[in-house]
Structure 1
Amino acid sequence: MKIERKKVSMQVFDRIKEYIHEEKMKPGDRLPTEKQLSEMFGVSRTPVREALSVLEASGLTVSKQGGGSIVQETSLTNLIEETQFEFVDSKEVLNLLETRIILETEAARLAAERGTADDKSQIKRKLEEIRKAQDDNRVGYKEDIAFHNAIAKASQNPILVHSVENLTTLYEKAIRFSLKKNMGVSEKRAQVLSEHERIYTAIRMGNGDQAKDEMDQHLRNACKKFKHSFDQALNS
């Protein structure tokens, strides 16, 4: 079976990550050159170049004239974890979102029809936390996830709640990646907040069909944003 070039890039990224940790590299240290890394890992320079470009785009390293990359002064562990997500095939993320659409549109409908007053108050609190995160110019991915989980809990279906929560780890990385890419675009941030507000309003009013439709539109818009963010990252 032919190995996809992007998969080789991901392997190279893993090896560079191991190299940084094994060599206990610090800010200001220089990574081997593209040619040296290619020889070290036994691959062509193309996947090495791709791995290095993603590291630089994420702020972990910076290229220097004459070859090689310099480790930046930042949290290496966190950046490595976040950067690795950029190597995930966008189709995998879209499959994840497709699953969220299947689960969460129905969760929104049930939340509107079955949710108690306390459930709906909790959803409202999570919505306010999203708004505050935006006002504070924070990414707000945890607040976003908490909002969606609160809706799932309001469905009163424990299996549905468990299914949504099982996807939370993967979804957290996906949404953190996308929100960071769109953080500086005020129009996109306002759009996401407005979508959440419409979902909550439909749930508060007990309109199950409307809640389902609003959630469907919100997650389909998220699919478009994720695809755009991944395309930008892979073509940068």
Structure 2
Amino acid sequence: MKIERKKVSMQVVDHLKQMIKDKKLKPGDKLPSENQLTEMFGVSRTPVREALSVLEASGLIMSRQGGGSVVQTASIDHFLEETQFEFVDSQDILNLLETRIIVETGGARMAAERRTSEDLKIIKKKLEAVRKAYEHNEIGHQEDIAFHTAITEATHNPILLRTMKNMSDLYEKAVKFSLMKNMGILGKRTKVLNEHERLFNALELGDSAEAEKAMYEHLNNAKKKFEQEIGRLP
């Protein structure tokens, strides 16, 4: 029998999902605290936080103000899916990534040429949110999308912005899938953050060629990673 190796955080995810399916945790129930979960599973706090972030992104739990998380109201969709990402059509994701490479590389060049000082402040603020999500071991898909959207807005091309918004649903699923696969892998998460920072630096300098190159390499790396996940590359 082949032994499957899984990240610690994903093992915690599996255990908590099973507890929900077995009704040991019911809709509306408050989850044990992070400290209690670390003791329950014999792991450190980092994988527990990563697991809670994944479960929240998949819609199984919801964070409450004042701390703690509760199980969401039962939904057949939640229990049929391992996570919503696993049922996304892989060819659709690849098509989207190819489209993003075509659209956003040109968009990055244009943004470097057209961005205003106010645009740059907004992009920097979005980058700081990406960095904060990284530091807190969160998936950070919404922050990632906001960063890329701010760059598109800096092109001051309404048709380009509308094009990005028209594929927003699949766009969000693709970004979630990609970033979720990095959870618990510090090297990959650091690499993605560095790619965002390189892109911002090029925009700040108004270097259109470097901005285009940085965006291409960033998105092409995401495409390669996805192809590896679905077994199209060795």
Say whether the fold is shared (TM-score over 0.5): yes
Report the CA distance between 1:196 and its aligned residue.
0.4
Kindly provide the amino acid, as one letter, of the partner of residue 227 in structure 2: K
Q: How far apart are 1:173 and its partner, in Å?
A: 0.7
TM-superposed CA distance for 1:146, in Å, is 0.2
Tell me which residue corresponds to 1:107: 107
CA contact (8 A) 2:85 2:176 kept: no
Q: Indicate the structure with greater helix content.
A: 1
- 8 A Cα contact 2:126 2:147, kept in partner: yes
Structure-2 residue corresponding to 1:184: 184
In the alignment, the residues of structure 1 paired with residue 82 and residue 148 of structure 2 have an alpha-carbon distance, to the nearest angstrom, of 22
| Alignment partners' CA distance in 1, 2:162 and 2:82 | 25
Task: Answer yes or no: is 1:230 the counterpart of 2:230.
Answer: yes
Distance in 2 between residues matched to 1:165 and 1:103, nearest whole Å = 12
Number of the residue aligned with 1:121: 121
Offset from partner CA, 1:150-203 (integer Å, 9 cap, x none)? 000000101001111222221111111221121110000000000000111001
Partner in structure 2 of residue 41 of structure 1 = none
Alignment map for 1:31-110 (pairs within 5 Å): 75=72, 77=75, 79=78, 83-110=83-110
Cα 1:83/1:231, change in 2 over 3 Å? farther
Residue 228 of structure 1: how far off its partner (Å): 2.5
- TM-score between the two structures when normalised by the length of structure 2: 0.65
Deviation at residue 121 of structure 1 after TM alignment: 0.9
Deviations 1:24-44 (A, max 9, x none): xx7316xxxxxxxxxxxxxxx
Amino acid at match of 2:206: G
Q: Which residue of 1 aligns with 2:156?
A: 156
Q: Residue 193 of structure 1 corresponds to which residue in structure 2?
A: 193
Q: Distance in 2 between matches of 1:109 and 1:82?
A: 39
Q: Offset of 1:74 from its aligned partner?
A: 5.4
Say if 1:81 and 1:118 are closer, same or farther in 2 by CA, change over 3 A.
farther
What do the CA deviations read for 1:50-88 (whole angstroms, capped 9, x no partner)?
xxxxxxxx989xxxxxxxxxxxx9555474567343133
Larger Rg: 1 or 2?
A: 1
Aligned to 2:206: 206
Aligned AA for 2:126?
K
Structure 1 vs Structure 2: percent identity of aligned residues?
A: 50
